[in-house]
A and B are shown apart, each in its own frame.
Chain A
Amino acid sequence: MPRELTQNRIQKTWVPTKDDKRRATGAPHFANPPTVIVMVGLPARGKTYMSKKLTRYLNWIGIPTKVFNVGEYRREAVNYSSYDFFKPDNESAFKIRQQCALAALRDVKNYLKDEGGQVAVFDATNTTRERRELILKFGKENDFKIFFIESVCDDPNVIASNIMEVKVSCPDYRDCNKTDAMMDFQKRIECYKTSYQPLDPDRHDRELSFIKVIDVGRRFLVNRIQDHIQTKIVYYLMNIHVQPRTIYLCRHGESTDNLEGRLGGDSGLSLRGRQFSAALARFVEEQQLKDLKVWASQLRRCIQTAEHLGVPYEQWKALNEIDAGMCEEMTYDEMKEKFPEEFALRDEDKYYYRYPAGESYQDLVQRVEPVIMELERQENVLVVCHQAVMRCLLAYFLDKSAEEMPYLKCPLHTVLKLTPVAYGCKVESISLNVEAVNTHRDRPEEVKRGPGTLIRRNSVTPLTSPESHIKKPRIDNLEEASIQELPNSVASLALCSSQHIPLTLTGPYWLGKVCLT
């Protein structure tokens, strides 16, 4: 007898009645055994950059991922004095470093076995065969898949630039001036060079699964990809680049539906919307960008906005606003009246909630993923889209969780300028000074927040990459270091609001402090 099916009230997915509580996914997640991604490479080769970026991407597409940076464990254990710590003959330092790696591996094990993690990124140099053997053994004992990402680069300019970008300002060099820091770091790199054994695809490491990233992505060597997640990782790494560039996100100009407070639909711009489009054209010109690509959705209000720019633009159906299904073109009041239960359910769980015969934010993330991939390939891009879509894109760039995503502030007539910097993304919010209605609905206070949204494994639930804030590992006795997780919102705010941008624009713009939640 086939099982009875019920339709989950929030996600509108059909599940066997007994399994009603299970959170469904938008697409299968090919339950894989947990994977440990192991970074390999000399210092200043971009390992931490790739670790963090990859982790942000995997979390956004719903794969719980976390970085374990051994350098951070080391900083907890000792105060850094100079590169002497890394000299190959410094025995006591060597012991400490070993203990740190082991402590990190213990935390990896906890994360993957007990905390619902699916991918752990083990971010350290891992330059010797001996160290990698240790990790392979660890993986085998615990049934984890191991995938190596090696970054190989000998271009002195790239290395110097990396050091300037992220090393001289790191906690190790807190009390040094830049030149001293640079010199010390170069010597640190030398310490690793003598014992560096790169991955050898022809003989020693031919059975391992790995990707060698050579010269910042000019060339890749990919060996023995085992599964779906490794393919996605390889594809992602092959599409990202480090060229300086800027991404502009904005919504279409105010539409006539916006004026009436209606959701969705395909209406045209209001008068103020047209004014915004003209202002946007002026703004774009003033930015004096090289080769700006402009993308719009296929809905009229976006296209009208893009048209005003007077430059070629590409239409993406994937950028269309979230489909409100049976609630299309209703006002929130009408929705409350006609579908009171739906209205309440949406407030209860706005990320997972799927409009009847429509979409959810979870569906949106999946729909918008190719856009993100192409954004990674591109350089300067202006994306003219919609409120929900913009929230999805922003959550990716700013590492916001599923909890936060549907409540990010993306007001009309405001451009968000995103610039990659160091390990994250600088955000500038630029209001073009054309009045518009406010379409933002805050998380209602009276909604009972349940015992935390249970993030299940294998669900398309963007998680903020957890800050690997750890307590001191007890290196004298082999006690587990417990990882204190900061609440997501605090961790990610730190990432974006710490940048205070000098006012670079003159004229009619109001450069606001970014306050997105």
Chain B
Amino acid sequence: MVGLPARGKTYISKKLTRYLNWIGVPTKVFNVGQYRREAVKTYKNFEFFKPDNEEAMRIRKACASAALSDVAAYFAKEYGQVAVFDATNTTRERRAIINTFAKERGYKVFFVESICDDPDIIAENIKQVKFGSPDYIDRDIEEAMQDFVQRIECYKASYMPIDDEIDRKLSYIKIFDVGSRYLVNQVQDHIQSRIVYYLMNIHVTPRSIYLSRHGESELNLLGRIGGDSGLSPRGHKYAGALASFIRGQKIKDLKVWTSHMKRTIQTAETLGVQYEQWKALNEIDAGVCEELTYEEIQENFPEEFAMRDQDKYRYRYPKGESYEDLVHRLEPVIMELERQENVLVICHQAVMRCLLAYFLDKAGDELPYLRCPLHTVLKLTPVAYGCKVESFFLNIEAVNTHREKPKNVNVNRNPEEALLTVPDHI
């Protein structure tokens, strides 16, 4: 990352890392500020960052080196594929060190520079994330703001933005004014192209994303998975409750998305507003197990059932899909969600788990077990570096469709052990 303090570098680092991990590219952030906080236990004031503070300079250089070592270890020993080096990196000298480091080891380097001179945006950034930082935890807000502004000044004198002529051989993207303009230079490969595409689609306008499943369906009642059934009477009631809830939220310009399956469309119909159908939001395809109960799966495909419990994320139903396939299928939905503002997505259990895992940064081992009960709306609001989640159960009873991982996942287990965690149904 490159840029003065409070230009959104850490915000971008964390968001990008979350996205890359979700699509299956092992990525990690290395924030040099954290290394500095480890080395210098207490932060006094901006004087630490003065260019003539030699001792501090030495510490800061050491921190950067330590972070780079960890990057090397991440690639060599932890199967990392992308490392995000999150620091100001505002001098040509520092960037040359990084390029040398990478060249020696055969790593590719891609710079993301954030440039912004709008004082309102900067003040807002400082409020959002700096006051809560460990550096300012016991300070008065006015004092903290003053100090931080001085901190930025320390960097300004020596700031050398990436230069279009001198740095013409480097691969980079410059982001101006929170995305109003981009300059992209020498994209080398697929992953850099995806990174650029992602960065060009995200925005920071406040908004909320509502995730919900369809209302309870006829097959839900019977404990059967998949299929394309309609809503049960309680499901219809939920649709009505959802409509009231949405009206109560008084959302500006809400977009509503559903899958191609009857139950989500029926749910959306009750809202009485326009909605768009995405085939990509269809429930996971259970292949040969479509419309079976868990008991029937255990009876007919006990081995498959066990293997699913062993690795629910990667397990692919015969002639069907896996969660991993789902993530891949949902990527355009996520990309469009990033572009949009207020959206209500009416989808299915596995699909909702995948989307939620993206927003809440949940890895493959947790993703298939996230709780997404029927008749509950999750409201996601971006805040600071993450996402606030509020859960609204709309008070219409429904069956439970959540199956926890049983203790015994061995293929030789007894049927009872396999069926231990199956929720009740008719």
Contact = CB atoms under 8 A, between A and B. Distances in A.
Interface residues of A, number: 37
Contacts of A238: 184, 187, 193, 196-197
A475 interface: no
A471 B261 CA distance: 48
Contacts of B187: 238
Contacts of A221: 181-184
A2 interface: yes
A328 B193 contact: no
B278 interface: yes
B421 interface: no
B269 A317 contact: no
Contacts of A25: 277
Contact of B279 (A26, A234, A374): A26
A222 B182 contact: yes
Nearest to B261: A14
B359 interface: no
Interface string A305-325: 000000000000100000000
Interface in A1-52: 2-3, 5, 7, 12-14, 16, 24-28, 30
A336 interface: no
Contacts of B185: 218-220
A239 interface: yes
B197 to A, nearest CB: 5
Contact of A317 (B190, B280, B325): B325
A235 B192 CA distance: 12
A303 to B, nearest CB: 15
A225 interface: yes
B151 interface: no
A377 interface: yes
A228 B180 contact: no
Interface in A190-243: 201, 218-225, 228, 231, 234-235, 238-239
A33 to B, nearest CB: 16
Contacts of B257: 28
Contacts of A363: 279
Contact of B181 (A5, A28, A222, A228): A222
Interface in A149-181: none
A14 B193 contact: no
Given A28-B257, A374-B190, A5 B265 contact: yes
A419 interface: no
A317 B266 contact: no
A110 interface: no
B47 interface: no
Contacts of B201: 231
A211 to B, nearest CB: 9
B197 A235 contact: yes
A184 B151 CA distance: 60
B319 A16 contact: no
Given A228-B336, A317-B328, A328-B319, 14 more contacts: A2-B236, A2-B270, A5-B266, A14-B262, A14-B266, A28-B257, A218-B186, A219-B185, A220-B184, A222-B181, A222-B184, A222-B200, A231-B200, A231-B201
10 pairs of A and B residues whose beta carbons are closest in the complex: A28-B276, A2-B269, A222-B182, A220-B184, A2-B270, A219-B185, A14-B265, A223-B181, A14-B262, A235-B197
24 contacts: A3-B269, A12-B260, A13-B277, A14-B260, A14-B265, A16-B269, A26-B278, A26-B279, A27-B278, A28-B257, A30-B276, A30-B336, A219-B185, A221-B184, A222-B181, A222-B200, A224-B180, A225-B200, A228-B339, A231-B197, A238-B196, A363-B279, A366-B279, A374-B190
